[in-house]
Amino acid sequence: MATSAISAKALLGRAEAAWSTGDAEAAVALFEDAVVAAEHEDDLETRVLAVLGLARGQRYNLTPGRLPVHLHGTYDAVSEPGVRARLAAALARCWAYANEPRRATPFAAEAIDLAELSGDETVVADALDAALASHWGPDDLAARRDWAVRLDDVSAHLRDPESRLQAALWGLSVAWEVLDLPHMHKSMRALELVAEESPRAHFFAASRRFPLELLRGNYAAAPLLIEQARAAASAAPIPDALGVLWSMQGYQAYFTGDTEGCASMAALFEEYAAEQGVAAVRAEAALLWLGAERPDKAAEMIGAFSREVLHELPRDSDWMLIQQCVAEAAIAVGDREMAASAAELLLPYAGRSVVNAGAVMWHGVTDDTVGRALELLGRTDQADRHLSAALATYDRTGARWWRDRLRTHTSPGAGPADATLARVAHLHPQPGGLWLVGTAGSTTFLPKMRGLEHLHVLVSNPDTDVSALDLAGGGIAVEQSGLEMLDDTARRVYTSRIAAIDAELELADDSELRDEREALRVQLGAATGLAGRARRTGGTSERARVAVRKAIISALARVAEQDPWLARHLHERVRTGHQCRYLSDPDHPVTWILA
């Protein structure tokens, strides 16, 4: 398109008009023309609006082309904090969507700092969305939880539906990650309310309702939701609409046992992955080929993922999805080496829920694939613990398809299906600063707490004394005795003065003398212990005892909110004092997953 005769403002107007009618492809081309024209005209205001419009059209998982060049050039040319924050946020999302979290994170931090300086809560909401997108990896869950709550708070009263849409989407995505069913439904309802005032939000409401209905086995709702999403995509600009619709169609076929539908969609996934070089789509293609009963094609898809490739994948939003899908396919085709590689990488994330980017589909829990992979490798005792934990989680969440598949898998064997009667408990840190705590089916993610660390040490060493000093200081603290509250000289002076007051009171009653005597008696009593021994201030050991007890009590209070049984068990079986101990219960044993 020749742009020399058309002003940047006119091009921008045409781009916005195309965007408003749902023609994202034409809008993106016009936005880019407007950026070039605005640079030529030295019209910074129009250039900013045009480049932000261009960023709206970026597609997920694809190379961003010249978008980062345009964004960064405009970012460098702007000094006003609010505008610069919007550009920094757009740059952060640009690199995050391109699977470059390392490049995205500095811009996300800059966006938040500048947004807070601007005082504009819409800009703050935009910056928080960028921070969430830039920290979408498996190790960033703690940060995502905090930012998602903050984004919800900031956006709750904003008129801008886009801010509230992003808040609802992030709330839903994080709730899926921790399998918090009440918050999943709450966020879904918030998303559907935004859809009542935003045509674009209709697409997200339908596509995010889809995995919730599949979770509870309501397959009849799937075709209706696909049609709703397709209709919304034709009326509003959704850059990734086609990919989302493909996912919905593919997983509808997968969960309903439609082998022909799986084969059709698997071929599309495979072709797209080859053309665009998208690892996550290739991994999902392997899963769909399994649904098409083509293990040969599934093996071909995961053949591109060597152990080295799996280890070098960027830790972004697709990392856990890829590992989970590769593990599924490797187990199905009996590829022990590939299953071992994926299980090794997933083991630190035991108990985690696997969601693809944006919560378009749920892929079960890591305990499921890890357990079956370990079983394939002959590590049956370890496998049984994870399989029991997965089955309990599926029972709790009503994940019928996943539960029934795992029960079918375990029924020929002896233990895992029946092992749900035993107590399997998680108590271990996860990458990113959170702890996974709770019995199978009632696990929760808690922030790092000293009390959880103390409990972990005690449970890891059952029926063994561990000193409070070692727990509190890692065994490196220097033992110090407490100081006497009163030394011998002070004690003699106090005793002598009390005797003198007693003599004076025998001659004449005096209220001031009686008050002084009582004060001295109280101080002397406070400094005297059993059998007249001098009482000391708390030494290192005593301070450690108090600190450990308080930390454990605080941690158990948090555990009790999610898993009362486990909190009660630990309360009854953990002894604190100068020496601490976890007493195992032979009558009601607990199988602990501690790492």
Q: How far does CA 451 lie from the centroid of its chain?
A: 21
d(CA 504, CA 96): 85
Cα–Cα–Cα angle for 261, 265, 269, rounded to 5 degrees: 165
- Tokens 């940047």, located at residue: 8
- Amino acid 419: pLDDT: 42
Alpha helices in 62-120 (DSSP H): 67-77, 81-97, 101-118
Question: How does strand 444-447 pair with strand 434-439?
Answer: antiparallel
- Tokens 């023609």, located at residue: 23
In the structure encoding, which two tokens stand for residue 141, read together? 């869950």
Is 51 strand, coil or helix? helix
Q: How far does CA 319 lie from the centroid of its chain?
A: 13
d(CA 532, CA 480): 23
- Amino acid 166: pLDDT: 95
Q: Within the chain, what is the greatest distance between any pair of CA atoms? A: 115
Phi/psi at 378 (nearest 5 deg)?
85, 10
With a cut of 50, list the residues of the chain below it in pLDDT: 1-3, 412-421, 475-483, 530
Give helix then strand counts, H and E, for the chain.
28, 9
Query: How many Cβ atoms sit within 10 Å of the Cβ of residue 568?
Result: 13
In the structure encoding, which two tokens stand for residue 288, read together? 């769909």
- Amino acid 425: pLDDT: 86
For residue 112, give the nearest of 86, 75, 142, 144 by alpha carbon. 86
d(CA 530, CA 510): 32
pLDDT tens sequence across 250-262: 999 999 999 999 9
d(CA 569, CA 565): 6
- Amino acid 545: pLDDT: 85
148, 132 contact by CB (below 8 A): yes
Sheet holding 434-439, edge to edge: 444-447, 434-439, 423-429, 590-593
d(CA 253, CA 310): 27
In the structure encoding, which two tokens stand for residue 144, read together? 């995502």
In the structure encoding, which two tokens stand for residue 53, read together? 């419009």
Q: How buried is residue 522: exposed, middle or buried, by Cβ count under 10 Å (0-12/13-18/19+)? A: exposed
For residue 371, give the nearest of 403, 335, 339 by alpha carbon. 339
The amino acid that residue 501 corresponds to is I
Q: What is the dihedral of CA 27, 30, 36, 39, to 10 degrees?
A: -70
Residues 6+ apart with CB under 8 A from 574: 455, 458, 552, 580, 581, 582, 583
- Amino acid 415: pLDDT: 47
- Amino acid 364: pLDDT: 96
d(CA 580, CA 516): 43
d(CA 293, CA 266): 11
Phi/psi at 436 (nearest 5 deg)?
-95, 120
In the structure encoding, which two tokens stand for residue 565, read together? 């049984």
- Amino acid 534: pLDDT: 57
Is 581 strand, coil or helix? strand
416, 391 contact by CB (below 8 A): yes
The amino acid that residue 39 corresponds to is E
Residues 6+ apart with CB under 8 A from 427: 435, 436, 437, 452, 455, 456, 459, 592, 593, 594
